[in-house]
Amino acid sequence: MTGETMRAWAVTAPGPVEADPLRLVERPVPAPGDDELLVRVRACGVCRTDLHVTEGDLPVRRPGVTPGHEVVGEVAGLGRAVSGFAPGDRVGVAWLRRTDGTCPYCARGAENLCPASRYTGWDADGGYAEYTTVPAAFAHRLPGEVDDVALAPLLCAGIIGFRALRRTSLPRGGRLGLYGFGGSAHLCAQVALAEGATVHVMTRGAAAQALALELGAASAQGAYDPPPEPLDGAILFAPAGDLVPVALRALDRGGVLSVAGIHLSDIPPLRYESDLFYEKELRSVTSNTREDARDFLAVAARHGVRATTHTYPLSRAPEALRDLKAGRFDGAAVLVNDFS
Ligand SMILES: [Zn+2]
Ligand SMILES: [Zn+2]
């Protein structure tokens, strides 16, 4: 691949997607580092974090970065020190790109908290391109039978939703509330339902509510409406801090609210008596470990978890981000490589 060029989307000046901050550029096909794989992108999911990177809600960590961290692709090249992969292998590239493996967090199995962690599509170029690279130790092997498009959103939206579900410590057969119902929530709901939970969805938009009911949710109502029964656990997927007290008030005694997003608008003042007393808990969710990814991919295969997808050609990536921001589709958007 040395010397060849490729087309890639680059965040040249972060700003509102309506102002076209994503530019199509011609770049050399990246050379994989010694411990990395070169991956030809076949499909790449569109995550809300891509929107935050593109609009500048997240600080710039690599100027001109190519977003995208839900990549399904095939190995197109190997670094000198890589073993166990061969050209043509189907692999997934996710958000967590690298950790130091030596800090106290990594040592106790919490590599998602590693201060030296690096992320795909933020610290390093991601999947809105013909090719990307990934450290081989952080590449995910993918089950053979599911197609590229259906698999892509599982790689971030799915894994994060799964970690958020585990962080709520939902009791068996518990009552779970989901606030917001996009890419991550609709995958999380499928796992929770398969494990016997009763799921209530609070979201704006009739189409998202209809999808929730179709997947088996017991109820669907507006984002600020109370669920029909108290909740043992809840997950906030919408990036709206003003939903935190709303969701806390919907919890039963001892209930846990997890915040799944990487970015949240400010949380209004909480009232201790109604929002936190009776041992309610508020927890954040930060990235994921490779173990979360392996566990989730196995659970998803076992229960037949599938993303409801809305595809765009890679050449129209900016439109996918604008539609995500405007809430113009249900489920998850996936870019399909139409460049090569
Ligand atoms: Zn570490
Ligand atoms: Zn993501």
Q: What is the pLDDT along the chain (340 residues), one digit of tens a residue?
A: 557 999 999 999 999 999 999 999 999 999 999 999 999 999 999 998 999 999 999 999 999 999 999 999 999 999 999 999 999 999 999 999 999 999 999 999 999 999 999 999 999 999 999 999 999 999 999 977 789 999 999 999 999 999 999 999 999 999 999 999 988 999 999 999 999 999 999 999 899 999 999 999 999 999 999 999 999 999 999 999 999 999 999 999 999 999 998 889 999 999 999 999 999 999 999 999 999 999 999 999 899 998 989 999 999 999 999 999 998 887 789 999 999 8
Same domain, 98 and 10: yes
What one-character DSSP code corresponds to residue 248? H
The rounded Å distance from CA 183 to ligand 1 centre is: 29
Ligand nearest to the CA of 103: 1
Same domain, 225 and 254: yes
The rounded Å distance from CA 112 to ligand 1 centre is: 8
DSSP secondary structure of 172-186: TT-EEEEES-SHHHH
User: In this structure, is residue 303 part of a structural domain?
Assistant: no
Same domain, 10 and 151: yes
**Are the C-beta atoms of residues 267 and 241 closer than 8 Å to each other?**
yes
User: In this structure, is residue 301 part of a structural domain?
Assistant: no
Q: For 47-107, where are the E strands, in sequence order?
A: 71-78, 90-93, 96-98
**DSSP H or E segment with residue 299:** helix 290-303
Length of the chain equals 340
**CATH number (domain holding residue 262):** 3.40.50.720
Same domain, 112 and 198: no
Domain termination residue (choose one: 268, 284, 300): 284
CA dihedral of 173, 280, 162, 224, whole degrees rounded to 10: 90
User: In this structure, is residue 266 part of a structural domain?
Assistant: yes
The rounded Å distance from CA 82 to ligand 1 centre is: 21
Ligand nearest to the CA of 45: 2
Rounded to a whole number of angstroms, the distance between the first and last alpha carbons of the chain is 14
Same domain, 68 and 201: no
User: In this structure, is residue 290 part of a structural domain?
Assistant: no
Same domain, 41 and 123: yes
**CATH number (domain holding residue 85):** 3.90.180.10
Same domain, 191 and 131: no
User: In this structure, is residue 185 part of a structural domain?
Assistant: yes
Domain termination residue (choose one: 240, 268, 284): 284
- Give the SS3 label for residue 251: strand
Same domain, 59 and 176: no
**Are the C-beta atoms of residues 38 and 124 closer than 8 Å to each other?**
no
Same domain, 34 and 52: yes
Ligand 1 ion: Cβ-proximal residues, 5 Å cutoff: 99-100, 103, 106, 114
Domain enclosing residue 231, as ranges: 159-284
Strand 131-135 to 36-46 pairing: antiparallel
Number of domains in the chain: 2
The rounded Å distance from CA 98 to ligand 2 centre is: 15
Strand 231-236 to 251-259 pairing: parallel
User: In this structure, is residue 212 part of a structural domain?
Assistant: yes
Same domain, 169 and 151: no
Nearest CA-CA partner of 201 in 188, 210, 212:
212
The rounded Å distance from CA 110 to ligand 1 centre is: 8
Which residues, 6 or more positions from 325, have their beta carbon under 8 angstroms from its beta carbon? 17, 51
Same domain, 112 and 149: yes
